[in-house]
């Protein structure tokens, strides 16, 4: 039986460091799950999925040293059935190697009450560090919408102040657009990165959840948008993307085409973006921001 929701218990949750060794094969599989290599003669894309001069996509950091679906632990008191991944931010402190051994350190930084009928927000942070030196490779911030756990301040618990909202994209037309198709089997490939939620593989589970078929992982859509930014703004060099953040608006079905609209901002190397599915003319990633090394 789950314990009663306790915001402070989440802030104090003890995460053990996660050691993760990944290989060039993992790096290639990650890129393939995001559609790289669909054109066998695209030499630049082959750098993502062929061992000759292999480069890792920076967004692969989100699957490294992941603590798993810990919110499902009854001791958290979270109504995990009603969890939704709301936002994701990734900052690269250095270039992600194509293979290596890392340590992941996770913590909950904020628990925010939105109201008994509006749910709550939990913000967690994960640092991925080189196992040998301790140098930080990437810092990730995830916002989780806990739809079933609002109103805890009415029981005398403390709520953290909410951070600033993600900025909306400019109202003017975008400076560029970039399209990438996802593979029909993309969710089956991406789940091999460690997220085995049957929602992404089992049609019966997906239909019971209200979808017509299994959906693509939100972080896979995040990675595909990052590929568009790298191709459009970083001269197709994965190491050029050093920061990216987004809000998840709607799910993607494997095989759909993602079009990313990109705006140049005043600060050098700064961009705003949003991504829609062409087949349904639906925004799936919104309030996107990115930084390219200059």
Q: Residue holding tokens 């079009």?
A: 259
Task: Please identify which of the residues 215, 224, 262, 292 carries the catalytic annotation.
Answer: 215
Q: Residue holding tokens 């799936």?
A: 284
Q: Are 176 and 169 in contact (CB under 8 A)?
A: no
Instruction: Classify the phi-psi angles of 56: left when phi > 0, otherwise alpha if psi is within -120 to 50, otherwise beta.
Output: beta
Residue 61 CB: number of other CB atoms within 10 A? 21
Which are the contacts of 4, defined by CB distance < 8 A and separation ≥ 6? 77
DSSP H/E element including 226: helix 218-233
Task: Please identify which of the residues 104, 113, 119, 200 carries the catalytic annotation.
Answer: 200
Residue 91's alpha-carbon distances to 3, 88, 227, 229, 241, in angstroms, are 34, 10, 15, 15, 9
Catalytic residue check, 195:
yes
Task: Please identify which of the residues 149, 195, 243, 287 carries the catalytic annotation.
Answer: 195
Q: Are 258 and 269 in contact (CB under 8 A)?
A: no
Catalytic residue check, 262:
no
Catalytic residue check, 178:
no
Catalytic residue check, 86:
no
How many residues in total does the chain contain?
A: 294
Task: Please identify which of the residues 218, 223, 245, 288 carries the catalytic annotation.
Answer: 218
Q: How far is CA 94 from the centre of its chain?
A: 18
Q: Which residues are catalytic?
A: 195, 200, 215, 218
């Amino acid at each position: 039986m789950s314990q009663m929701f306790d915001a402070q218990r989440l802030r104090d949750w003890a995460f053990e460091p996660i050691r993760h060794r990944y290989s060039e094969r993992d790096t290639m599989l990650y890129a393939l799950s995001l559609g790289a290599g669909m054109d066998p003669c695209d030499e630049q894309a082959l750098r993502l999925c062929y061992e000759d001069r292999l480069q890792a996509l920076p967004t692969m950091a989100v699957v490294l040293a992941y603590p798993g679906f810990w919110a499902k632990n009854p001791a958290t008191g979270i109504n995990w059935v009603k969890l939704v991944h709301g936002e994701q931010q990734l900052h690269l402190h250095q270039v992600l190697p194509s293979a290596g051994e890392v340590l992941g350190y996770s913590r909950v930084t904020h628990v925010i009450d939105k109201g008994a009928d509006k749910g709550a927000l939990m913000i967690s942070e994960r640092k991925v560090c080189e196992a040998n030196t301790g140098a930080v490779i990437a810092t990730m911030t995830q916002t989780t919408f806990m739809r079933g756990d609002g109103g805890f301040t009415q029981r005398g618990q403390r709520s953290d102040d909410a951070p600033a909202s993600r900025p909306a994209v400019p109202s003017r037309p975008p400076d560029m657009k970039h399209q990438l198709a996802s593979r029909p089997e993309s969710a089956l490939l991406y789940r091999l990165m460690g997220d085995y939620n049957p929602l992404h593989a089992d049609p019966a589970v997906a239909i019971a959840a209200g979808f017509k078929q299994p959906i693509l992982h939100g972080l896979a859509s995040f990675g595909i948008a990052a590929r568009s930014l790298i191709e459009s703004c970083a001269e197709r060099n994965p190491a050029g993307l050093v920061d990216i953040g987004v809000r998840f608006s709607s799910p993607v079905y494997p095989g759909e085409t993602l079009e990313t609209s990109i705006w140049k901002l005043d600060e050098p190397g700064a961009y705003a973006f949003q991504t829609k599915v062409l087949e349904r003319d639906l925004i799936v990633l919104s309030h996107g921001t990115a930084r390219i090394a200059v």
